[in-house]
Amino acid sequence: MTLTSLFRNVSAAAALLAAVAANAADKVVIYNWSEYIPDGVLEEFTEATGIEVEYNTYESNEVMYSKIKIQNAKGYDIVVPSSYYISKMAREGLLAKIDQSKLSNLKHLDTSLLNKPYDKGNQYSIPYTWGSTGIGINTDEIEKSSITSWNDLWDSKWLGSLLLTDDVREVFQMALAIQGHSANTRDPKEIEQAYQLLKTLMPNVLTFNSDAPREPYMAGDVNLGMIWNGEVIMAQEEMPEIDYIYPSEGVILWVDSFAIPANAEHKDAAHQFINFMLRPEIAARTVDYIGYATPNKDALELLDEETRNNPIIFPSQAIISKGEFQEDVGDEATALYNKYWEELKTSM
């Protein structure tokens, strides 16, 4: 018996206790990124379906994955992994097949974001939002036109002042893009080169943040660095001087999708929840609230013109084709990325 199975048994016992304690009424347990759903939507879902919602949040794919793995894909009914984690989790048997016949609102989705390489035929995942990681800037402090590329972050004048997202793949993708390599490379040589380049960036880094990267910008502690586009949209409500730049080397693109853990206890409720979130009016509100683009084409018409034409939310086709979507790189390369990541963070 490995320790893992011992852990599994212990957590299974804990889950059993929890199941006995909980009342038998219908409920759905959601595990989502922090600040990733509009206020009030969960209450409306309960009102519409009578299903109670238990809501938990996480800050990184890694944390979510570890928890699902250790609980043997039990305990949560909905998770929202990024694309490259969908393929990893599906491969390891952690995700349940989605019954598309239960999703009457699936027809609203834009087919260009379906049937992607990380999940052919959308057997395991239904896209929720998509967005990008680019350069955040406070235009009151720094001239916007002076920054055009990832490479500009390496300038020694930014000593001890930048923010990077606390995400190994995104940070490496930045260096790989500068060196003209694929963000999804598995080549140890290319990964090592990117590591060497990132090492020279570390003196410029003030903080890592994947919790709410807009906050250090809004608090005035950071004026330049990486950020997610939706965070800029949220920040601009209070501080329009915070802006977003699509770096010339190519922006980092990602899709976050709904998925159901393999041993979820409320699979039917989970399907109902996904279907509810696919309603165009809910998807439109999601764009307004969290500032990320929706794959829901019928929601676009419900957005006001300004939002629909906002290049920070919906980048042009040229920017999309120049950017690169994240994909799974396999366990071996992942371990290598993580090893270098550890070295970067401990060498500061």
Partner 1 sequence: MKAFIANLNFRRLVITLTISWLSIFVLLPHLMVVGTSFLTADADNFAIWPITLDNYLKVLDDTYAGVFWDSLVLSGITTVIALGIGYPFAFLLSRMTPALRAILLFMMVIPFWTNSLIRIYAIKMLLGKKGLFNLVLVSTGIVDKPVQLLYTDFAVIFGLVYILLPFMVLPLMASFDKLDQSLLEAGKDLGANAFHRFRHIILPLTMPGVIAGCLIVFLPAMGMFYVADLLGGARSLLLGNVIKNQFLVARDWPFGSAFSVFLIVLMGLLLWLYYKANQYVQKQGGMDDQNL
Binding site for partner 1 (CB under 8 A): 2-4, 6-7, 60, 62-63, 65-66, 69-70, 92, 160-161, 166, 168, 205-209, 216, 219-221, 331, 334-335, 338-339, 341-343, 345-348
Of 65 and 289, nearer to partner 1 (C-beta) is 65
Of 239 and 302, nearer to partner 1 (C-beta) is 239
Of 4 and 146, nearer to partner 1 (C-beta) is 4
C-alpha separations of 85 from 113, 271, 336 in Å:
16, 20, 17
Shortest distance, position 155 Cβ to partner 1, whole Å = 18
Shortest distance, position 238 Cβ to partner 1, whole Å = 13
C-alpha separations of 339 from 188, 189, 205 in Å:
12, 14, 19
Shortest distance, position 123 Cβ to partner 1, whole Å = 20
Report whether 30 contacts 64 (CB < 8 A): no
Compute the distance between CA of residue 347 and CA of residue 344 in angstroms, rounded to an integer.
5
Shortest distance, position 346 Cβ to partner 1, whole Å = 4
Q: Which residues of 150-185 are buried (b: 16+ CB within 10 A; e: fewer)?
A: bbebbeeebeebbbbbbbbbbbbbbbbbbeebebbb
Report whether 284 contacts 89 (CB < 8 A): no
Helical residues (DSSP H) of the chain, grouped into ranges: 3-21, 41-49, 61-70, 83-91, 168-178, 188-201, 214-218, 229-236, 267-277, 280-290, 297-300, 305-308, 317-322, 330-346
Of 27 and 169, nearer to partner 1 (C-beta) is 169
Of 287 and 344, nearer to partner 1 (C-beta) is 344
Shortest distance, position 10 Cβ to partner 1, whole Å = 9
Shortest distance, position 66 Cβ to partner 1, whole Å = 6
Of 163 and 300, nearer to partner 1 (C-beta) is 163
Shortest distance, position 288 Cβ to partner 1, whole Å = 27
Of 112 and 338, nearer to partner 1 (C-beta) is 338
Compute the distance between CA of residue 56 and CA of residue 34 in angstroms, rounded to an integer.
8
Residues pairing with 28 in the sheet: 53
Which two structure tokens, joined as six digits, stand for 18?
A: 């929890």
